[in-house]
Amino acid sequence: LVSRKRQSENTVIQLGEAVIGDGSSSLIAGPCSVESYEQVFEVAKALKEQGIKLLRGGAFKPRTSPYDFQGLGEGGLEILRKVADQLDLKVISEVVNPSDIEMATQYVDVIQIGARNMQNFELLKAAGSVDTPVLLKRGLSATIEEFLFAAEYIVSRGNSKVMLCERGIRTYEKWTRNTLDISAVPILKNESHLPVFVDVTHSTGRRDILLPCAKAALAAGADGVMLEVHPNPSVALSDARQQIDIPSFDQFMKDLRSSGLYR
């Protein structure tokens, strides 16, 4: 069902004023984790000023260590919804538990399925049985075929509004957090009609190369880019080393726009 052979036209997903997959570029930005109303509002205001419509923020955080901040849960989704309604934005947030999908649809406009859950088949089925759009991230060590089959799980359950997100894969390379597989972008675009995003924050883990990687993503045909923005990254409760602050985000948008690749 996700194959280009089945459907030649691109899947286009409309989220309010944001249109994804129609040839224009989309941007998803926001903090790694929802920490407080004030924190989310500050970032959301910066997005609004840049004309960005899609606000991200994690409320259920799949952390490597059980001792790290696990997210605010449903309270975090409430904060996102409140801020998004105030500023007329759309919200995207990760769900990790199949039994939370139904609840999350009351707050979010897009359900994110994270890399660690790309093959959580019960979660995929649960996301496939609602009609809220889904952003599916590529697994840490998933092949492109496995990635497309994961999307197939969602679509085959009846939810055709799926977006794919390349977020880097595990290799031996240590100078980046993961290895951004830029070739996945044109392959996914050729093989599938679903929109494709590139998460430049988690793939690289490095603020200094976000811009060239975002340009590469768009040049390779990505429908959009995701990145993490925090009012004060040094005190962030997760991913403190790779989120960018608001002035850097403004500069990033300025540079991306002047590249001519962000349409």
Would you tell me which residues interact with ligand PEP (CB under 6 A)? 32, 58, 94, 114-116, 137, 167, 199, 202
Measured from the CB atom, the residue of 21 and 231 that comes closer to Mn ion is 231
Cβ-Cβ contacts under 8 Å for 229 (sequence gap 6 or more): 29, 30, 31, 43, 46, 47, 243, 244, 245, 246, 249
- In angstroms, give the least distance from the CB of 260 to Mn ion: 29
- In angstroms, give the least distance from the CB of 170 to Mn ion: 16
**Overall size of the chain counted in residues:** 263
Span near Mn ion by CB under 5 A; candidates 2-10, 44-52, 164-172, 235-243: 235-243
The single-letter DSSP state of residue 64 is S
Measured from the CB atom, the residue of 81 and 116 that comes closer to ligand PEP is 116
Residue 35 near Mn ion by CB under 5 A: no
CB 150, CB 142: distance < 8 Å: yes
Measured from the CB atom, the residue of 241 and 254 that comes closer to Mn ion is 241
Span near Mn ion by CB under 5 A; candidates 15-23, 25-33, 165-173, 183-191: 25-33
- In the bound state, the residue with its beta carbon closest to Mn ion is 32
- In the bound state, the residue with its beta carbon closest to ligand PEP is 114
Closest C-alpha to 112, from 41, 180, 34, 25 = 34
Rounded Cα distance between 122 and 108, Å, is 20
- In angstroms, give the least distance from the CB of 188 to ligand PEP: 15
Measured from the CB atom, the residue of 21 and 233 that comes closer to Mn ion is 233
Measured from the CB atom, the residue of 13 and 32 that comes closer to ligand PEP is 32
With CB under 5 A as the contact rule, the residue among 32, 72, 108, 237 that binds Mn ion is: 32
Pairing type for strands 18-20 and 13-15 reads: antiparallel
Cβ-Cβ contacts under 8 Å for 2 (sequence gap 6 or more): 148, 151, 152, 155, 162, 192, 193, 194
Q: Which residues, in sequence order, are bridge partners of residue 18?
A: 15
Span near Mn ion by CB under 5 A; candidates 5-13, 59-67, 173-181, 236-244: 236-244
Name the binder of 114 from ligand PEP, Mn ion, none, CB < 5-8 A by kind.
ligand PEP
Triad 221, 225, 229: Cα angle to 5°:
165
Rounded Cα distance between 236 and 248, Å, is 16
* Contacts with Mn ion, residue ranges (CB under 5 A): 32, 239
